[in-house]
Structure 1
Amino acid sequence: MIIVVAHFPSLYPDELLYSGIARYHQMSGNLAQKHTIRELFGDRLVCATVDLPSHLELLASRVHNLYSCEQLIQNHTLFPYYACFLNGDEIAQAEMLMKRGTAQGMVHSSLGLLATKVKSPKFLRFCRECYKAEAKECEPYWHRFHQLPGVSICPVHKQPLNVSNIHCATHNHKFEFVALSKIKEEYFSEVNVDARWSENLAYIAEQSASILTSHWQTKTIPSYKNLLYEQGYITAKGRVKFKELLIQFRQFYSDELLQHLNCEVTTVSETWLHKLSRNPEEIIHPLRHLLMVRFLDGTFNSSVIASHPPFGDGPWPCLNKAADHYHLAIIKNCAISRCSKTGLPVGTFQCSCGFVYSRRGPDRSNEDKYRIGRVKQFGQVWHSKLKGLNTVNLSLRKKAGLLGVDPRTVKNQTSILLNFKENPQSNEAIASKSSMITNAMKNASLRIQKARVNWRVLDKVLLNVAERAIEEIKSMPEPTRISLASIARTSAVGELSLKISKNLDKLPKTKAYVATCIETTETYQVRRLLWAANRLFEGEGKIVGWRLLKLAGLNHPLRKQVLNVFNDLIHQNDLDS
């Protein structure tokens, strides 16, 4: 039998569900918090979670469906903030856990929050100006956007937040719901921040609140490669200039502010900024996305996080100057691929006249629609026009102007027409053979230009470099995975990874040594677990499961080998205690 709560209070705009339950506890007259929890959830063991509460289906049913689960999640929890950079499957999984209920910490684990170093506030915070205004109109309440990580300033009043003595964490205060009206606002001090950070902190507060209330969802992890390329942080070969990026990023924010936000990038090992620059598959904290966007672009809106077509919406113009429909938008499809050198999108446009062209994107203006990067196929209409021009007395340059190409292309295509017999598939044959000839010439040129390499000497050099790099990685204060990429970064030899991976058979000594040192995902995670266990034991004298996972940067489900080590560490700790 479901007991319906008759007088659950109406929730205010941006009010935390936690705050609404705290106000209900005041109204109910219950002496114990557990009695209130049992009335609302039917279970006395539901925890007082501030940011991402669960068991919402039970709550919605017992308040007579005054609010749906979706309304509670979207308007009265911090879930929209974290969901902004998740894909559809991850969003559905977390929402299901919040609706149906789960073990403590599982919702946070599904969102990657146990593995991140970005810390949520330890105590609930409020704005003194908001408190006074709400006390006059109705009653003060806990706001969602005041509790977001990295937010130290009220986005409405632009004033530093005040820190209460009400704990956000549930491990020591599992059943405590405290209304804001219960505390005296004048007794609590403001967040202590450096005045030099005010502009950046104001940006973080405003944009964090915007994410929370706009319900944006990217569905795919956003890519910053286009912005990095525009700012000059990607080479022509598509490699990110991490050394330059890290220096400029640290100068832009200062190491002190980044440390305050738990987003420092001061080490030479793999950082969150490296992962964010490479289109990561793992979850990156929204605060770090905000820092990246401000650094590269300065604005954060749906156009930044949404996935817009890099070449705009069709139809697109045919750029065959020999056709009657030149510059008319009649191409309906655009095939998009990635440039192997820069990682930027490449659009290929094929017209019914046989003309096929491509260009590297993304388009930055309307004029870019009329730009050709490369002609892949000229087509029957273009070749027919060329044949006609070759029968009249015109200069090579004049023909080129009428066909929209350079004189050399006219000469080459005329030569191809003369050397190959025409047949019903003449245009396809001409285009195919032309492409084959061009590629063959390029490959022959590259083979001639390639210098001979003394692989025996290079093997000795790279072996010595790899040994020193691996020793340095192992001596780092925090574990860094030993991989080709980390070895290359640590050794400061930019092409080491490429030389090893593409020529392993020619580097037998280096290959053998690196193979014994490279870590798999499991071995690296085991090393992180052991490191975290030692840190916890030295600092606290005991090992708690969730703290061990958080410090190690791991989430459930763990791989079999890692899970075995995790269980052994917990079991050994229980025996020792």
Structure 2
Amino acid sequence: MLAFFPALYPDEMLYSACARYHRRSGNLSIKATMKDLFGSTTASAVVDLPNRLDCLRRQLPAGTLTIVDRLIKENTLLPLYSPFLPRHRVDKMIAWMKGSTHGGGIHMAMGVMASGVPAPRYLRFCPECLAADESRYGEPYWHRSHQAAGALLCHKHEVWLCESDVPTAAPQNKHAFVAAPVPNGKYLPQPYERYFLHYREITRSVAWLLSHPETESPGLFFFRKKYLHHLRQMDLASYSGRVAQRELLEGFVAYYGNCFLEQIHCRIDIDSQCNWLNSIVRKPRKASHPLRHILLIHFLGTGIEEFFCTGIPESRPFGRGPWPCLNSAASHYRQAVVSRFVITRNCETGEPVGHFYCSCGFNYARTGPDRERSDKFRRGKILEVGPVWEAELIRLAEKEKRSLRAIARVLGVDVHTVIRHLAQLADCRQEENFVEDGKSLIERRTRWLALIAKHPQKGRNELRALGPADYCWLYRNDREWLFENLPPVKSRKGSAGCRVDWPGRDRELAARIGPAAHAIRYAPGRPVRVTLSAIGKKLGTLALLQRNIDKLPAARASLEGVIETKAAFGIRRVRAAERELLRRGESLETWRIVREAHLRPGYPASVAVEIERIISCI
């Protein structure tokens, strides 16, 4: 048992404490120090993840250190890796660090070797921390937070770290512990200065993880769900979990820059489907380096503390089930009986669309998310009406003999919906009617032919007015025969082409197109492109413009003067995005403008020029 062992300082590496012991013990041989501390002359001086810690505990004086788990949490770099690893693997790492075997496999099993992110080649120190430690404790020491990959700043003083001449993996003598200070320190290269803000966020995140060793591994699926939640907020993932990988890669590279990602060994090949960013947001199959998790967390607009200390917000754009059935023909109308529910995403707006399936057969869909409690009773599109609704439709139409509008009011649908379903039901019952009511069919055909023979000069509408009951019955049940036995359509001689005043209609439309385009262009909210379709819908003349534009030369000329090209609309969206970002107080960066303007890859060069002009005017 050792006669003494130095007290560990805040944020000190175990390697540093062993180096201070070697200096105070007076041992001339570094292997003698290894024998004192770890009971073996073949043990190695490991900086970040040492092993043989149970042997060290047995060698220490009584009362010096009795809990190895505390030593691992407070004086090694394991707390930096453990939150991003499966719990069973963390337990395995702790067991290996306590034991005397598997020392060479700890880094391999941790995934550090395969990540492509190398550990620092030399021990690093902060000049201001070095001076403060010497003033307070009488000697400097190696800080744990200065030795993490990617952490090139001191989180306390926010100055660049210096590299010593002490290698973290000495090829000549792997048994030596070297104490601080080292006089030959050199500052990191100046090119890092332009990425000061990125390095500061990384350094703060590393410091938080090391100072909160109680942060247990939430599991790889936790990261998947949390990332998907934030990606949905950025419109980079659907509610079903599908990630827009290409847009994510482009936004990520635009946020950090290729040069910065190269510096920290996290380069991304946008054209490759097998890069680390694609893997980290997909279904978890392997662990990733903590530095890469930190980069993604900051890109998603959150901090490391908020990310770990808040739960996974459930994506419930339509609230909790069960949901109400909106079948007004059912006895459970507006009651919460719908439990089957599917969410999809509107491919144009990105908004969630809920599909609700009731046991009565009535299925409907509506667009979310819900903003008020009454929204759950708002019905969008009817997917299927079901047998209950159809039975009520037949009862109202045949037994109560209600009008189409009255039926529509009772069933909560449009008149055209009632007409369509009545026609469908009539078609389905046609064969049955022929069998059950064959005598009526013959009688009605006979009466209709007699009516035509009696009035040979009458047209279709006049015959229908003379025999409305037979015409309606035959139309519903024997339509093909009826059309074969109708008089030919009378031609309107001398009136063709004179029923519509095309010049007058052309002048009227041409005068209305300009104000309609102005209203679309300057409408509040998300910009809408000025197109023929948008103007036609605004004026209620879409079919007229689409089918008869050749007869409307003045209107066509007005349209050509106001319709926006893709490039012009893109520039207007970029300017609207600039105003919105300034209103929210956010910085004007290319990736922010592209995301706010909802631009897709491959937008015109003139739009890119406008973005550069906006940023250059900052």
Please confirm whether the aligned pair reaches a TM-score higher than 0.5, indicating the same fold: yes
Aligned equivalents of 1:56, 1:169: Cα separation in 2: 19
For 1:51, which of 48, 60, 79 is the aligned residue?
48
Aligned equivalents of 2:91, 2:172: Cα separation in 1: 30
- 1:61, distance to aligned residue in structure 2 (A): 2.6
Aligned equivalents of 2:211, 2:50: Cα separation in 1: 18
CA RMSD of aligned residues (A): 5.0
Aligned equivalents of 1:101, 1:71: Cα separation in 2: 18
Aligned equivalents of 2:81, 2:157: Cα separation in 1: 24
Question: Which of the two has higher C-alpha Rg?
Answer: 2
- 1:87, distance to aligned residue in structure 2 (A): 1.2
CA, structure 1 residues 246+383, in 2 after alignment: closer, same or farther (shift >3 Å)?
Answer: same
TM-score normalised over the length of structure 2: 0.54
1:447 corresponds to which residue?
none
- Give secondary structure in 1 for the equivalent of 2:84: coil
2:112 corresponds to which residue?
113
Q: Is the 8 A contact 1:55 1:101 kept in 2?
A: yes
Q: Is the 8 A contact 2:13 2:144 kept in 1?
A: yes
- 1:132, distance to aligned residue in structure 2 (A): 1.4
Aligned equivalents of 1:415, 1:39: Cα separation in 2: 96
Q: Is the 8 A contact 2:34 2:43 kept in 1?
A: yes
CA, structure 1 residues 317+103, in 2 after alignment: closer, same or farther (shift >3 Å)?
Answer: closer
1:398-409 aligned at under 5 Å gives the runs none
The one-letter amino acid of 2:16's match is S
2:185 corresponds to which residue?
188
TM-score normalised over the length of structure 1: 0.57
2:12 corresponds to which residue?
15
- 1:62, distance to aligned residue in structure 2 (A): 2.5
- Give secondary structure in 2 for the equivalent of 1:199: helix
Structure 2 residue 252 is the aligned partner of structure 1 residue 249: yes
CA, structure 1 residues 239+304, in 2 after alignment: closer, same or farther (shift >3 Å)?
Answer: same
Aligned equivalents of 1:308, 1:375: Cα separation in 2: 33
Structure 2 residue 131 is the aligned partner of structure 1 residue 128: no
Aligned equivalents of 1:52, 1:284: Cα separation in 2: 17
- 1:48, distance to aligned residue in structure 2 (A): 0.8
Q: Which moved more, 1:364-373 or 1:142-151?
A: 364-373
- 1:121, distance to aligned residue in structure 2 (A): 0.5
Task: String of CA shifts for 1:240-288, please: whole Å, max 9, x gaps.
Answer: 4444433332222121111110011136332112212323311211111
Q: Which moved more, 1:169-178 or 1:253-262?
A: 169-178
CA, structure 1 residues 271+136, in 2 after alignment: closer, same or farther (shift >3 Å)?
Answer: same
Q: Which moved more, 1:221-230 or 1:346-355?
A: 346-355
CA, structure 1 residues 230+38, in 2 after alignment: closer, same or farther (shift >3 Å)?
Answer: same
Aligned equivalents of 2:149, 2:128: Cα separation in 1: 20
Aligned equivalents of 2:5, 2:358: Cα separation in 1: 63
1:213 corresponds to which residue?
211
2:510 corresponds to which residue?
none
2:32 corresponds to which residue?
35
Aligned equivalents of 2:356, 2:309: Cα separation in 1: 26
1:313-328 aligned at under 5 Å gives the runs 316=320, 318-320=322-324
1:294 corresponds to which residue?
298
1:273 corresponds to which residue?
277
The one-letter amino acid of 2:38's match is F
CA, structure 1 residues 298+29, in 2 after alignment: closer, same or farther (shift >3 Å)?
Answer: same
Q: Is the 8 A contact 1:358 1:375 kept in 2?
A: yes
CA, structure 1 residues 325+286, in 2 after alignment: closer, same or farther (shift >3 Å)?
Answer: farther
Aligned equivalents of 2:114, 2:80: Cα separation in 1: 17
Q: Is the 8 A contact 2:117 2:289 kept in 1?
A: yes
CA, structure 1 residues 207+399, in 2 after alignment: closer, same or farther (shift >3 Å)?
Answer: farther
CA, structure 1 residues 310+354, in 2 after alignment: closer, same or farther (shift >3 Å)?
Answer: farther
- Give secondary structure in 2 for the equivalent of 1:163: strand
Q: Is the 8 A contact 1:316 1:369 kept in 2?
A: no
For 1:285, which of 285, 289, 292 is the aligned residue?
289
- Count of aligned pairs: 408
Task: String of CA shifts for 1:279-336, please: whole Å, max 9, x gaps.
Answer: 3311211111111222232433353687625258xx94654278999899x99x9999
Aligned equivalents of 2:217, 2:125: Cα separation in 1: 27
- 1:102, distance to aligned residue in structure 2 (A): 2.4
2:265 corresponds to which residue?
262
Q: Is the 8 A contact 2:229 2:313 kept in 1?
A: no
- 1:192, distance to aligned residue in structure 2 (A): 1.5
Q: Is the 8 A contact 2:246 2:270 kept in 1?
A: no
Aligned equivalents of 1:96, 1:374: Cα separation in 2: 59
The one-letter amino acid of 2:297's match is V
1:175 corresponds to which residue?
175
- 1:399, distance to aligned residue in structure 2 (A): 5.3
- 1:103, distance to aligned residue in structure 2 (A): 3.8
CA, structure 1 residues 10+225, in 2 after alignment: closer, same or farther (shift >3 Å)?
Answer: same
- 1:24, distance to aligned residue in structure 2 (A): 1.9
Q: What is the identity percentage for the equivalent residue pairs of Structure 1 and Structure 2? A: 32
Q: Is the 8 A contact 1:350 1:357 kept in 2?
A: yes
Aligned equivalents of 1:124, 1:206: Cα separation in 2: 19
For 2:236, which of 233, 237, 255 is the aligned residue?
233
- 1:96, distance to aligned residue in structure 2 (A): 1.4
Aligned equivalents of 2:340, 2:110: Cα separation in 1: 35
CA, structure 1 residues 22+365, in 2 after alignment: closer, same or farther (shift >3 Å)?
Answer: farther
Q: Is the 8 A contact 1:228 1:296 kept in 2?
A: yes
2:87 corresponds to which residue?
88
Aligned equivalents of 1:413, 1:189: Cα separation in 2: 83
Q: Is the 8 A contact 2:122 2:163 kept in 1?
A: yes
CA, structure 1 residues 292+118, in 2 after alignment: closer, same or farther (shift >3 Å)?
Answer: same
Aligned equivalents of 1:100, 1:137: Cα separation in 2: 35
Task: String of CA shifts for 1:216-257, please: whole Å, max 9, x gaps.
Answer: 422224123333343343479965444443333222212111
- Give secondary structure in 2 for the equivalent of 1:105: helix
- 1:73, distance to aligned residue in structure 2 (A): 1.3
5+ long unaligned stretches in structure 1: 420-577
Task: String of CA shifts for 1:504-561, please: whole Å, max 9, x gaps.
Answer: xxxxxxxxxxxxxxxxxxxxxxxxxxxxxxxxxxxxxxxxxxxxxxxxxxxxxxxxxx
CA, structure 1 residues 368+326, in 2 after alignment: closer, same or farther (shift >3 Å)?
Answer: closer
Aligned equivalents of 2:370, 2:17: Cα separation in 1: 47
Q: Is the 8 A contact 2:396 2:407 kept in 1?
A: no
CA, structure 1 residues 72+294, in 2 after alignment: closer, same or farther (shift >3 Å)?
Answer: same
Aligned equivalents of 1:61, 1:353: Cα separation in 2: 73
5+ long unaligned stretches in structure 2: 429-618
